[in-house]
Amino acid sequence: MDFPDNLFPTFFLPGPPGLSDSPASYLAPAWSDYMQLLKPPQTQDPSINPQHEASYVTKWGRWKSDTPGPLPFLLPGADPWDPELMSQDLLFRGRVKQPARAKATIDVIEQLNHFLWDHGDIAFGPLGMLLQENFNLGEKKKSRKNKMVMNTEWLLRDLNGYQPKGCPWAHLSTRQRRFSLLGGTVLGEEVENLLGGLLHEELETRWKRLLLDEASTGGALGWVPGAKPHHGQLVYPTGRAHDQLNFQKVKLSPTNEPQALGDPSHILLRGPVRQVVTRTIQGEALVAVRSDHHCALWKLEHRGPPEPLQVLEMEKEATGISLSPHLPGELAVCTRSGAVCLWSPQHGLQQIHKDPETFVFKDPSSWRWADFTAHPRVLTVADRTGLRFADARAPSDCGELLFRVGAEASCQRGERVLLAQYLGTPDPLPLSPTLHLVCTQFSLYLLDERLPLVPLLKWNHGLLSPPLLAQLLPPPYPEAPLPLLLGGLGGHLRMLHLSVGSGRTPQLAAPPQSLPSLIDSLPGFPVLEPHGQQLLQERLRAPLTGLAAVVPPGCPSPTMLLFQLSAAGDVFYQRLWLQPDTSSESAGSPSTDHAEDLGLNSHSQTSATSSLGTVSEPSAVSWKPRAVACCRRWLKTLLQVPPTLPSWTPPTFSQHHLRWLKEENKGKVQEGLRAAMAEGRLLLQGDLAPLPPSDPPPAHEPFGTEDKLSERLEASWERKGAIWWDGQRDGSRLPRKRQSREKRRTQLSSSFSSVRSTSDFSDVNSPLPHPPKTPSPLHRMSETSQSLELSQELWVKNIPRERRQTLRDYLAVLPSPDSGNCSIPQFQNPSSQSLSTSEPGKCSVPCSQNPRTQTLFSPLPESYSAFYSQNPNSQSLYSQNPNSQSLYSPEPAFNSVFHSQNSSIQKLPSRHTPSLAGSQPLRKKPRMGF
């Protein structure tokens, strides 16, 4: 192999990153991007002045796109998608006192505060259970038996009627005072410490993941070329849990858009697909998939379904997988334990490196990455601090370093390796197969494994999201520079042009180019009303989780198809082609292009300005009707997808309501609960208690001719409020006037709830000819009202008198159910529901927002059958059906398991998937406004 016989001059000064003494770091931002554009002066024949080369654009042309943004390639999946957690959800949103020094604070205290108030049951429940033995909450027998029991009847009575939420002037009885003094420390601090700690930890993890989601490093979109030159397959995950691996056959055309051939075949996995790697070597097309605790390898045949070769289960989370470019079926796998293994179905696993510590300096991240080198037995192992060689022939933990986050590469402070990739492939690339790409959050480095620690090229990519995807493509023409694509998680795409001849150092041949991301396609879609628009925007802004560029053969001009996969499971594509430069004559001398390159660098504005005027702007591309129609079709399907339920709904049943039941009813409730759980269905109202035929209590009454309020107050004063109420209910019929008033109140509250649910957009007029059959927000309302209603019935008979007033006041404030909407048709389909927990106190109604994920991961066999009965044609590879053996073995950590014989991969029968919301019958549209 040729080694460049004349390297570019550079200092080599070891030291920590950001060392101010290193001139290279001083030069860093400008040095690399610009200087690399230049060739070192030729010393061989200095009598000849170095010739300036024709610029990339004049020589090869410009990469242009047909459309201003990527177009949808496949219709959106049947599963709704919501963008999960965003930074706005976590950060403190109040007024900043010092605007000059803006602070970002994760508002743990506020979040905890809300949690304690809104979900006191959960927060204090376990503690209450512990203390329950020593407190009497109204049961008479208990207090007589045990002297250690404290009667809280009077305490609860004191608490009635008001909630002193932090009010210092609230009246405290002696009893309350004593209780808070004695119990305050236990109740307050313990909860705060335990829960607060956990919450903080959780928020921290979520926040870190939000800033850097390393799970999707490498990308989950793969392209496998087919036997015929214009055919191939896209491999990518879909589904809310990213657990469905799809193999979509695609037909490429030299002139037209790529075509998806039929529905994808798919495999349902038992974990989310994080990374998909594809490679065709020695005529064998392989697909490797990384999930959190599993890695699997498939072989793609020209005909027939993918053949599973082997599955690996690991105890610690897998962080990277790569397929060998040299030997078919050989893989490198690494996990969070710091272990790196060479894995092949024939020879099994061979651990070649294990070190829980990071290489260069201590970094808390346990992320590891492994890839191959030009030598089939030598791997590179990466962590956040650097890259190191690991030799499979002589495993040791101290191989030579290939890259180090330090002064040698003039790294900045806080710089870390985010992606490492071996660029050499056996394809006829005019590239010496020794190049490695390293991406940090600031820069891109190219390294030659024969010259460790000295980057041959450094470019400041300036991406505002972690660059986790990269792909090197073959040159459009022989001798032309190679396009290198770099993708950020936030959808940012860059295309670089690497000129790499054998025996030459790699250089940037042209100014890097930014390519449109999904959100740039927004103008191609019709304008929707706010809800729909928001949904569309969120969808297009979904993180970029996969990138696959394909070069269709036999095109008249060099073409590149760029497929992008978003976290929402959408596959978009864009067609780029190299247009010969026509404006080069008008652009002036070729050197202007280099001057343009200067403009990349903020320090050299003067030279940039001088040249800018002479350069013609590339003609803008507009949205063509065909592209718009494509977007429209996609949008239409998207709008038919049932919207997601909010990620969390407050529990509507609580221990309170159950605790106050009388003994005889308690037994009935427990029976009902058990029955519901055994059947795996939702707890219904009828299971708990018969519905007493009573109207809901009225709310506040204005003073009128019949001053009922005064009467009630009088009766209450004499502690005869309940008697008064009973009398009222039995004795008199409500006047019509009140009925209408109540009706109005209900309307008001229902419209309130429909406004609250922002994710529901279906109630707004849709531009589609047929309005989507999505459930109206009323459904959720009725869930709430159902439980309310239940409690309303119960309080009359079972709740101790001293609690009734509180409840009455409480209920009066809440929206009461519309009697016409009180039935519960949304739970007609019991199989799509399952109770998430067997604890009677915690049986919340909407047990899971993601029934599919839940059933898949649930250990209950019933839920499997419940899910698969809905979809008999698509049987899971990993179902517990005795006929189909599990592919993912339950054997202990890091065991390789040979594949099952009867793996079942079938065509997806239809895009429809049963879901909680989808199974509900169409309901009346909610009323808007007043």
Q: Which of residues 1-60 bind another protein (CB under 8 A)?
A: 1-13, 16, 18, 20-23, 25-27, 30-31, 34-35, 38-41, 43, 46-47, 49-52
Which of 242, 243, 245, 249 has its CA nearest to residue 224? 249
Report the site for another protein in 421-450 (rule: CB under 8 A): 424, 426, 432-434, 441-442, 450
Helix (H) or strand (E) holding 579: strand 571-579
Site for another protein in 834-853 (CB under 8 A): none
Least Å from the CB of residue 274 to another protein: 20
* Binding segment toward another protein, per CB under 8 A, in 133-141, 598-606, 744-752, 865-873: 598-606
Instruction: Show contacts with another protein in window 490-529 (CB under 8 A).
Output: 490, 494, 511-514
Give 319 or 874: the residue with its C-beta nearer to another protein: 319
Query: Smaller CB distance to another protein: residue 149 or 608?
Result: 608
CA atoms within 13 A on the CB side of 447: 31
- Output the CA angle 867-872-877, nearest 5 degrees: 75
Answer yes or no whether residue 466 interacts with another protein by CB under 8 A.
yes
Which residues in 307-322 are b (16+ Cβ under 10 Å) and which e? ebbbbbbbebbbbbbb
Q: Supply 72's token pair.
A: 């949808």
Q: Which of 84, 96, 553, 740 binds another protein (CB under 8 A)?
A: 96
Site for another protein in 323-362 (CB under 8 A): 325-328, 347, 361-362
Residue from 618, 667, 727, 825 binding another protein (CB under 8 A): 618
- Give, in order, the Cα–Cα distances in Å from 336 to each of 317, 330, 356, 370: 6, 20, 8, 12
Which two tokens mark 219?
């990308």
114: Cα within 13 Å, side-chain hemisphere: 6
Contact 849, 237 (CB under 8 A): no
Max CA pair span of the chain: 117
Amino acid letter for position 618: P
Q: Shortest gap between Cβ of 75 and another protein (angstroms)?
A: 30
- Cβ contacts of 72 within 8 Å, gap of 6 or more: 570, 571, 572, 630, 631, 633, 634
Please, what is the minimum distance in Å from the beta carbon of residue 473 to another protein?
Answer: 18
Q: Between residues 149 and 454, which has the closer beta carbon with respect to another protein? A: 454
- Asked whether the CA dihedral 624, 626, 630, 632 is positive or negative, the reply is positive
Closest CB to another protein among residues 378, 684: 378
Closer residue to another protein, CB minimum distance, 327 or 349:
327
Q: Which of 85, 401, 454, 860 binds another protein (CB under 8 A)?
A: 454
The 3-state DSSP class for residue 817 equals: coil
**Burial per residue of 521-550, b for 16 or more beta-carbon CB atoms within 10 angstroms, e otherwise:** bbebbeebeebbeebbeebbbbbbbbbbbb
Beta carbons within 8 Å of 705's beta carbon, 6+ residues apart: none
Please state the closest distance from residue 186 (CB atom) to another protein, in A: 24
Nearer to another protein, 617 or 730 (CB): 617
Q: Considering the complex, what minimum distance in angstroms separates the CB of residue 417 from another protein?
A: 10
Of 373, 501, 435, residue with least CA distance to 6: 501
Q: In terms of CB distance, is 319 or 854 closer to another protein? A: 319
413 binds another protein (CB under 8 A): yes
Does 452 engage in binding with another protein (CB under 8 A)?
Answer: yes
Least distance in Å: CB of 396 to another protein?
Answer: 15
Q: In whole angstroms, how close is the CB of 555 to another protein at the nearest point?
A: 22
Helices (H), 291-397: none
Q: Could you say which residues in the range 57-86 bind another protein, by CB under 8 A?
A: 62
Binding mask 200-239 for another protein (x = CB under 8 A): x---x--x--xxx---------------------------
The interface region with another protein, picked from 151-159, 373-381, 843-851, 882-890 by CB under 8 A, is 373-381
Q: CB-wise, 86 or 928, nearer to another protein?
A: 86
Contact call for residues 499 and 509 (beta carbons, < 8 A): yes
Contact status: 540 vs another protein (CB under 8 A) = no
Residue 684 makes contact with another protein by CB under 8 A: no
Distance in angstroms (rounded) separating the CA atoms of residues 83 and 89: 11
Q: Which of 119, 142, 251, 377 binds another protein (CB under 8 A)?
A: 377
Least gap, CB of 2 to another protein (angstroms): 6
User: Which span (331-339, 608-616, 845-853, 919-927) binds another protein, by CB under 8 A?
Assistant: 608-616
Whole-angstrom Cα distance, residue 105 to residue 203? 12
Give the footprint of another protein on residues 276-305 (CB under 8 A).
282-283
Cβ-contact 127, 187 below 8 angstroms: yes
Q: Binder to another protein among 125, 128, 376, 474 (CB under 8 A)?
A: 376
